[in-house]
Amino acid sequence: MAGVASGDPRPTGATIWTRAVPPTGTGPVRLSWEVAADEGFSDVAATGTVTATAEGDHTATVAVDGLDPDWHWYYRFSAGSQTSPTGRTRTAPAEGSSPERLRIAFVSCQMFSEGHFTAYRHLLAEDVDLMLHLGDYIYEYGSDSEEYGYHRLRTDPVDHPTDLEGYRAKYRLYRTDPDLRAAHQLLPMAAMWDDHEVYDDYDRFVDPDQRAAAYRAWFEHMPHLPDPTDPSRLHRRLAWGDLADLVLIDLAQYRDTEAPAPFVSTTTEGSVAHDSDRTLLGATQREWLKSTMAASKARWRVLGNPQMLQPLRLVDLDNEITRFVDPDLPPNAGLYLNGTQWDGYQAERRDILSHLVEHGVGDNVVLTGDIHSWWVGGVPLDIDDPNTPTVASEFVGGSITSPSFEQMLNARIPELNSLVRDVAGDLEFVNLFDHGYGVCEITRDAVEVAFRRVDILDPGAGVETMATFSVQRGSPSITRTS
């Protein structure tokens, strides 16, 4: 069997996954599965059977229930004389309980041809409860593509898939990486997609057949079962007792077309970013997010957010002089870097942040991926009004392997970090060059975040801590601790 994986821990269960490889032909494979409280399977708590068929690329996904809360569990699949590797997962603490800690490793953006997934090997030594994948689990580019990529370190023969078999081939290839396989085997994952699971910067106007193929391959190969009432829905909440609500949002399938980027947010074409009917989330998910955050009784709300929430304005055009010249300037006018992230959907961002302020929803931590670089800062209600509150603390992690500014510029210029930090606003940290992962430890009264970097060209590379940060409950202020 081609590895195991688990995901979405609940107080009484989790989702487990495998892919069976038929010895001959393409016929169905009848699998038995079992979950035990010990690695030796002397204390089996749940068993069952599932059939892996060619129609599902011989993958099998099972929602296990009836387990005790807040426990590590071991699971395996078998067919005849073949047995899968033993996987390890865990259940969340019981509803209403008061756990002392939740430790999350958050990752994103792993392009197979660009380097080794060494980060996952070090992540396994972190004693985390959960992996949070914020998207771009696969990339559409093959290693022969001239469109994107720099290292071509590993061979990826599938370039720009458009059909189901092409997308399936991507997941099969990525799962050959030993460090990624080990991480899936030993840690549960909460996964959210971004854009490259279909293709770069796609939106709701994508070809529906291609989107259906890409989504089907994702659901086949990830440890997550689709909602039977809304099969493409991926936004959801995972609770960790009364300590934290992990709220995952989908910024890909419902969004309007991106604003031109880099774009000037004035009364020129960039003003589209301020259209009140423009959406990144879609109306249904937006209202779900607002109600879910407002209803949360947890000590912390952790937003799994694939694209940067805090403003990334490179030139400030919202001042007395520019407003005298053009009284019709929209709020927060300026030059923004990226129209695909929240900056390109400013009215919707303001609506959500205002809702949180109006309902007194504080202690919000945002974990973000996508941009292949590292950013730390507060998320203000209005970047041009110092009297408005900071609504959340955001930590943007770098990529596992996908190109950073070092590859794009073919140079490493450390001074660029401080220059961008000074220009872009009230930021605590910027790193445009390194690859790696983040670790977020949530306790009753504080959140600690560490950024780890690795060398993606060396599969035996070590790991180094770049910086650590702290947020105290009751205040969104971020303190750099190392």
Domains identified in the chain and CATH numbers: 1-92 (2.60.40.380), 95-480 (3.60.21.70)
Q: Residue 26 carries which DSSP code?
A: S
Q: Residue 273 has what pLDDT?
A: 87
Q: How far apart are CA 221 and CA 427, in angstroms?
A: 37
Which pLDDT score, from 0 to 100, does residue 335 have?
86
Q: What is the pLDDT of residue 280?
A: 98
| 17 alpha carbon, distance to own chain's centre | 19
What pLDDT sits at residue 330?
A: 85
Give the whole-angstrom CA distance, residue 68 versus residue 70: 7
Strands (E), 153-312: 188-191, 236-240, 244-248, 263-265, 300-305
Residue with the two structure tokens 């269960």: 13
Report CA-CA distances (Å) from 365 to 108, 373, 376.
17, 18, 11
Residue 126 CA: distances (Å) to CA of 76, 119, 439: 24, 11, 8
SS3 assignment, position 117: coil
In this prediction, residue 263 carries a pLDDT of 62
* Cα gap 258→338, rounded to integer Å: 9
Predicted pLDDT at 173: 98
Instruction: Note the pLDDT of residue 331.
Output: 87
Cis amide prior to 311 (ω within 30 degrees) = no
**pLDDT value at residue 450:** 98
> According to the model, what pLDDT value does residue 22 have?
78
What string of pLDDT tens digits covers the 482 residues of the chain?
789 999 999 999 999 999 998 777 788 999 999 999 999 999 999 999 999 999 999 999 999 999 999 999 999 999 988 999 999 999 999 999 999 999 999 999 999 999 999 999 999 999 999 999 999 999 999 999 989 989 899 999 999 999 999 999 999 999 999 999 999 999 999 999 999 999 999 999 999 999 999 999 999 999 999 999 999 999 999 999 999 999 999 999 999 999 876 666 665 556 788 889 999 999 999 999 999 999 999 999 999 999 999 999 988 888 888 888 888 888 888 888 889 999 999 999 999 999 999 999 999 999 999 999 999 999 999 999 999 999 999 999 999 999 999 988 888 998 999 999 988 878 999 999 999 999 999 999 999 999 999 999 999 999 999 999 999 999 999 999 99
427 close to 421: Cβ distance less than 8 angstroms? yes
Buried b (16+ CB within 10 A) or exposed e, 330-363: bebbbebbbbbbbbbbbbbbbebbebbeeeebbb
